[in-house]
Amino acid sequence: MFVSTERLSIRIGANPPARFDKALARDVPEAAALSRTRLARLIGEGAVTRGGVPVMDPKSKVAEGDVIEIALQPAEEVDTIAEDIPLTVVYEDAALIVIDKPAGMVVHPAPGSPKGTLVNALLHHCGDSLSGIGGEKRPGIVHRIDKETSGLLVVAKSDKAHHALAAQFEKHSAERAYLAVCHGAPDPGDARLRGVRGASFEAGGVLKLTTGLGRHRTDRQRQTVTFEGGRHAITRARILESFGQGAAALIECRLETGRTHQIRVHMAHAGHALVGDPVYGGRRRAGAASLGEVAARAINGFPRQALHAAVLGFNHPDDGRALRFEAALPADMQALLDVLRG
């Protein structure tokens, strides 16, 4: 993929959908922030070309290997309101900003969450230092973490930085490590876990989960594991601490890919759902017999998925120097671990 500040070049991948617009929507990098609506508008405007010829019909055919170019217009002002919301800034320069996001903050405005988001806060914090992302004057969200997940994420201030950082995430060269508390302990000695499809163990007792991930058939807000279609996803998890003879564990999860809800879905698929996960945790409850009443009550009452983006590493988009950041556990997760250790 080649990207300039004016044009986005994309090569259509294997087994593309029959329709041009659907294939384009599938293969445009998420970090380019080109919604289906905007892509449809660009197609209608003749801004999408193949071999220098505009593709005006969204139903036209497309083949693997086709190189599609999208002409990007100068950045437009956005309607999103800038809000003076406190941010924990870990690092900032002219090209990017690294934030330690608190649990409870939505990253991007959406229906139902038009205000109070990280983007609202960044519009105020960054001000005129934003030069435009994906045709709009806004911060460039390179990757996202869920509302109730805390921790590190990097945001671009320019189109150049946005695409350079996005390329690292797409090539899986960015380092991302999460800390989580899960039900049970993903132990290599667990015969049940070795029988889970897509699960295997690597050296050092690292659990590797390799599946496809796609939208749930009936609940479009959820993701589900699939072995036919979906987006390729790999998560590696290892036990850092075990509690109550394996009734719960503090684990480190490292992402090779970055799909929506990936860690939460994968750990639930493995039978080790994250503590407090309201979507993928089911009705699983910790028992007092193995953990003790106080610890079991702390786990069962934890109000969010116990997941924290603890480590983030990447190369600076301008000079290539290696940057690596760590964020300490938030108070609620630290308190939970204190009780489990007690």
Q: Could you list the active site residues?
A: 146
Q: What angle do CA 136, 140, 145 make, to 5 degrees?
A: 135
134-138 own/partner pairs: CB under 8 Å, 24+ apart: 134/32, 134/33, 134/34, 134/38, 134/72, 134/159, 134/162, 135/38, 135/72, 135/73, 135/74, 135/75, 135/76, 136/33, 136/75, 136/76, 136/77, 136/78, 137/75, 137/76, 137/77, 137/78, 138/78, 138/80
List strands edge to edge, sheet with 53-54: 2-3, 7-11, 67-71, 48-50, 53-54
Element (H, E) at 210: strand 206-215
Distances (CA, A) of 319 to 96, 164, 185: 12, 11, 42
- 9: which 2 tokens? 């070049």
The Cα 33–Cα 233 span in angstroms is: 21
244 DSSP β-pair partners: none
- CA geometry: angle 112, 140, 148, nearest 5 deg: 45
- Sort 54 into a burial class: Cβ within 10 Å, 0-12 / 13-18 / 19+: middle
d(CA 71, CA 123): 25
Residue with tokens 């995430």: 169
Q: What are phi and psi of 258, to 5 degrees?
A: -130, 80
For the chain, the helix, strand and coil percentages under 3-state DSSP, each to the nearest 5: 25, 30, 45
